[in-house]
Amino acid sequence: MSNSSIVIASAGRTAVGSFNGAFGTVPAHELGAAVIKGVLARAGVDAGEVDEVILGQVLAAGEGQNPARQAAIKAGIPKEATAWGVNQLCGSGLRAVALGMQQIATGDANIIVAGGQESMSMAPHAAHLRGGTKMGDMKMIDTMIKDGLTDAFHGYHMGITAENVARQWQLSRDDQDQFAVASQNKAEAAQKAGRFADEIIPYVIQTRKGDVTVDADEYIRHGATLEAMGKLRPA
């Protein structure tokens, strides 16, 4: 099949939750399943027609075997369809889409579900205890930091990388605050204008007080000002 005849028939996402926000206790594969259901419905594609599911995910500790397959099965895709995950850090979801295109181009599949799923809030702390702790304190590792935000070769946290880039290009705190405020103001305006509504697939969370539908990004700071931004401590 020629590349020009391969198309993205439908796309969608959940709202972006804040850390420990509305999605704080929702596993990544649950979010992934909801989006898969939504995009298939939008495209008019039956779940049984899907040949393969490819999902990028970095923070998979404690998620159980093959989170991509968990998402696929929960979305109603038959067990006969292959489902697998990709970890290329921040490029994982985009790599999954590229791999899906290649599968179709080579004739190995006709319909692919590809994308990414992630939950920093659900990333667990971990400790190696198989050998026992004879004496002293036990150290816990934050898998969100260890697996997702720290360079494995030099031990650099991504925050340090940002500092290095800022120093290299002489970007001051004020420069960054001005950019951040402008970005937040634009995001607020876009959200209020409904610009994100069509791409967000609502997710319903069951609580003691009843069902709560999450259909708007949480991280946007409404009313962001340069003065307020300047009072924030550096990350």
Residue 140 lies in a domain: yes
Same structural domain for residues 193 and 90? no
Contact 216/200 with Cβ under 8 angstroms?
yes
1 pLDDT above the threshold of 80: no
- The helix/strand/coil state of 80 is coil
Same structural domain for residues 102 and 15? yes
Mean pLDDT of all residues belonging to the chain: 96
pLDDT digits (tens, 9 = 90+) for 25-67: 999 999 999 999 999 999 999 999 999 999 999 999 999 999 9
Nearest-angstrom CA–CA distance, 179 and 47: 43
Task: Give the number of C-alpha atoms closer than 13 A to the C-alpha of residue 215, restricted to the C-beta side.
Answer: 13
38, 112, 229 from 99: Cα distances, Å: 21, 10, 40
pLDDT of amino acid 3: 79
Residue 124 lies in a domain: no
pTM to 2 decimal places = 0.94
pLDDT of amino acid 131: 86
Same structural domain for residues 16 and 97? yes
Same structural domain for residues 112 and 140? no
- Which residues span the domain enclosing 144? 136-230
- Reduce the secondary structure of 29-47 to three states and give it as a string: HHHHHHHHHHHHHHHCCCH
What the block records as the tokens of 16 is 């972006």
Same structural domain for residues 77 and 145? no
Could you tell me which residues are beta bridge partners of residue 83? 53
Q: Residue 7 maps to which CATH number?
A: 3.40.47.10
pLDDT of amino acid 134: 82
Describe the strand order of the beta sheet including 112-116 as a list of residue ranges. 82-86, 52-56, 112-116
Under the banding of pLDDT at 50, 70 and 90, the label for residue 6 is very high
Same structural domain for residues 23 and 107? yes
pLDDT digits (tens, 9 = 90+) for 104-163: 999 999 999 999 999 999 999 999 988 888 888 889 999 999 999 999 999 999 999 999
- Structural domains in the chain (count): 2
Same structural domain for residues 165 and 81? no
* φ/ψ bin of 110: left (φ > 0), alpha (ψ from -120 to 50), beta (otherwise): alpha
The residue type of 149 is L
Residue 177 lies in a domain: yes
Sequence-distant (6+) residues with CB within 8 A of 71 are 28, 29, 30, 32, 33, 36, 53, 55, 83, 117
Residue 189 lies in a domain: yes
Nearest-angstrom CA–CA distance, 71 and 77: 9
